[in-house]
Homo-oligomer: A and B are copies of this chain.
Amino acid sequence: MKKVVLGIDIGGTNTVYGFVGQDGNIVHSDEIPTHGNKPVDNFINRLGEKLDSFLTDNSDFKLCGIGVGAPNANHFTGIIQDPPNLSWGDVDIVTLLHEKFNCDVSLTNDANAAALGERNYGIASDMNDFVVITLGTGLGSGIFTGGLLLYGTNSLAGEMGHLSIAKNGRACNCGLKGCLEMYVSAKGIKETVIEFQKVNPDDDFLSSLEPDFIDGKMIDCAIDDGIKSAISLYEFTADKLAYGIAQVATILSPEAFIIYGGYSQAGDRLLGPTRIALETYLMDNLKGKIKVLQSGLPTGQAGILGAVSLLWK
C-alpha cells in the first residue's frame, strides 16, 4: 500500500484538495465549491464523497493523514474561528475530520499553508524571511521570520488582509475600516469597480463588468488590449497593495513578498505597478531590497502542499 496525505485548501469560494505522496508528488487533485453559506456538515459530506471515490478507484493507496489550510484557522486549537467569508461560526474541524475519517488531522491558516508550500516546494526554499500573500475572495498572508512560520501568541499572526491602510477607509465585515482586503482581493476589486462605475458611467469596459461576477481574466484581457480604465483599475489596486506591503516590510524587512492565489494570475499586469508604487512607499534603506514575486506553483498547489507538509514533516 502506498501512503498518501490529503491536503485541503479551503477558500471563500472554492476548496482545492489533493492526495500527496511522501515525495511531494500530487497523485490526484481537484476542487469543490466551498458553499460557505451552508452548514459545515454539508461541506464535510461532499469532501467525504470525493475521498471515498478516490480510495475506491485507487485501492493501492492508504490515507494516513489530512492536512487542512483554512481561513481564520488556529493551528494550536484545531478550530476554524468564525471566518469572515464563511458563515460556519467556530468549527472544530480537526475533531470533525478525525471522527469521520479516522486518521491524523492537522490544521493551519490557509495563508500559512501557502507559505509552508512555498518554503518546502516553491520559490522560498532558500528564504528565511518572506511573506506569502494570498489573493482570492479575501487577502491572507503567511509569514516566515528567521526561518520559522510565524504563529504569534494566539496563532493569529499574519492577518495582513486586516491591516488598515486608511483610518476611515472602506468598512470591512470584520468591523474595522480601511482593511487592505477591502481594496486588494475579489471583494476589494468589486468595491473599486462600483466606485469607478459611478465616476465613469459612460466607460464601455467598466459598464461591461457585473460587480458580483468579476473574473480576473476579463480584466487581464482588457489590460492586454490597452483599455485605459482596466489599467487604471489595477493601478489603483496595485497602489493599495504596495502601501500595505511597505508597512509590513517596515516591520519585518523580509526578502520577498510572494503573491499567490486567483488574482496573482494577473502577473505583471498587477505586480508591475505594485513594484513601482512600492519604491515610493519604502524607507530609503529598504528601497530596491524588497522583491515582489509571483508564485511559481499552480493555483491551489502551494496550499495543498503546505497543508500536507504539516503531516509529512
Contact = CB atoms under 8 A, between A and B. Distances in A.
B143 A285 contact: no
A154 interface: yes
A148 B129 CA distance: 13
* A interface secondary structure, majority: loop
B145 A129 contact: no
A253 B155 contact: yes
A284 B174 contact: yes
Interface string A71-107: 0100000000110000000000000000000000000
A164 to B, nearest CB: 6
Contacts of A165: 167
Chain multiplicity (copies): 2
A176 B254 contact: no
A176 B283 contact: yes
Contact of A159 (B150, B152, B166, B250): B250
A286 B285 CA distance: 32
A146 B145 contact: yes
Given A247-B163, A250-B163, A251-B163, A156 B286 contact: yes
A155 B129 CA distance: 11
A252 interface: yes
Interface in A132-164: 141, 143, 145-146, 148, 150-160, 162-164
A289 interface: yes
A177 to B, nearest CB: 9
Contacts of A4: none
Interface in A210-255: 243, 246-248, 250-255
Nearest to A286: B156
Given A243-B167, A289-B153, A175 B251 contact: no
Contacts of A284: 174-175
A281 interface: yes
